[in-house]
Amino acid sequence: MESEKVVSTHYNVDITQSETLDLIRHAQESDAADRLLTIRQAISKYKKAVFWAMFLSTSLVMEGYDLVIVGDPYFAS
């Protein structure tokens, strides 16, 4: 995997400052470490995000079923 070039999209960020370079390097290291996680490790590390995504997905699916059931004349009383 080749190193990606970081291009600033904000004009007030000076990428020559050591603090900014440290922040970029830390972000790249964290990204590389996250890519090496197994599914089980990722679920354990990001437990809140996983459950939030499951909750939101379930809500969306149930909303779809609700529209189908309510609009179905066979289930109308």
Please give the pLDDT value at position 76: 54
pLDDT tens per residue across span 17-76: 888 888 889 999 999 999 999 999 999 999 999 999 999 999 888 887 776 677 666 655
Angle at 27 between CA 56 and CA 47, to 5 degrees: 30
pLDDT tens digits for range 10-29:
666 666 788 888 888 999 99
- Residue 15 · residue 8 · CB < 8 Å: yes
pTM of the model: 0.55
What b-and-e string marks burial along 39-63, b requiring 16 or more CB atoms within 10 Å of the CB? eeeeeeeeeeeeeeeeeeeeeeeee
Residue of 73, 18, 75, 21 whose CA lies nearest to 6: 21
Helices (H) and strands (E) in the chain, counts: 3, 0
